[in-house]
Amino acid sequence: MNCLEIERQLDAYIDGELAPAESAALREHLAGCATCSRRLAERQSLGQLVRQAPYYPAPDRLRMAVQATRNSRRLTPTMLAWAASMLLAASIGGVMMAGTRRARTAAESSASIANDVVAGHVRALMGDHLFDVRSTDQHTVKPWFLGKLDFSPPVTDTAPMGFPLIGGRLDYIGGRPVAALVYQRRQHTINVFVWPDTQPAPPEAESQRGFQVQHWTRGQMTFWAVSDLNQAELGEFARALQQ
């Protein structure tokens, strides 16, 4: 066998469609030909990429290309490689579009929760329902949540850092009941909403309706802190809770 014959039979060899004698002859050639061995490796690598890519409907351009090859008298290796490249490009494009949609959905969800967090903070201050349990003792506040939630929120005393705990309550954020821990900085109230979340997320800071919001995850819990403090002081508070 020469290199041209080998190239024509590589796809059939990879798919196990050659007769035993042809496969043996092809393997013997590959053992002594670095060029054909490299072509085989490239075909196998391309096949793995195509198999790993998610399924998406073929674009019209690819359908037209395949139909054109069917109407031709013979499929050349170049035409087959071109069609495979088109399929791979379409699959990669689909993966990128799916990733973009997921990122957009996550951003929209985060913005919705931030809005709920600010609304919960304002509602508690205006409705005079800031506390269900009022205490500066974390060992009093934490046990109060037992039996009221399906999780145990971490309660940290940050009084040594200038942010004393003053109580807690039940609240409702993002369609589920959550723990709301209440801290203070001089005359400013800080609400920290806590609930389970197994998806890690980088710390975020934003302003909404004149309030500062900090978001982070730790120990499979998500934390949303909101206050009318300036962003620097709220950031200092958030770092104290993350220690």
Please report, for the domain that includes residue 157, its CATH number. 3.30.200.100
Q: What angle do CA 24, 25, 26 make, to 5 degrees?
A: 90
Q: Give 213-234 pLDDT, tens digit per residue.
A: 999 999 899 999 999 999 999 9
Percent of the chain with pLDDT over 70: 74
| Residue 105: both structure tokens together | 């959905």
The whole domain housing 174 covers 110-242
| Residue 198: both structure tokens together | 């197994």
Q: Within this chain, do residues 143 and 193 fall inside the same structural domain, yes or no? A: yes
- Count structural domains, the chain: 2
- Contacts for 196 with CB less than 8 Å, ≥ 6 apart: 151, 220, 221, 222
Residue 105 domain flag: no
- The residue with tokens 């998610």 is 54
Q: Within this chain, do residues 65 and 121 fall inside the same structural domain, yes or no? A: no
The pLDDT of residue 105 is 46
Higher pLDDT, 130 or 41: 130
Residue 102 domain flag: no
**What band does 103 get if pLDDT is binned at 50, 70 and 90?**
very low
CA distances (Å), origin 164, targets 91, 120, 183, 229 = 54, 20, 6, 14
Q: Within this chain, do residues 81 and 152 fall inside the same structural domain, yes or no? A: no
Q: Within this chain, do residues 130 and 174 fall inside the same structural domain, yes or no? A: yes
Q: Which pTM does this prediction carry?
A: 0.56
Q: Within this chain, do residues 189 and 161 fall inside the same structural domain, yes or no? A: yes
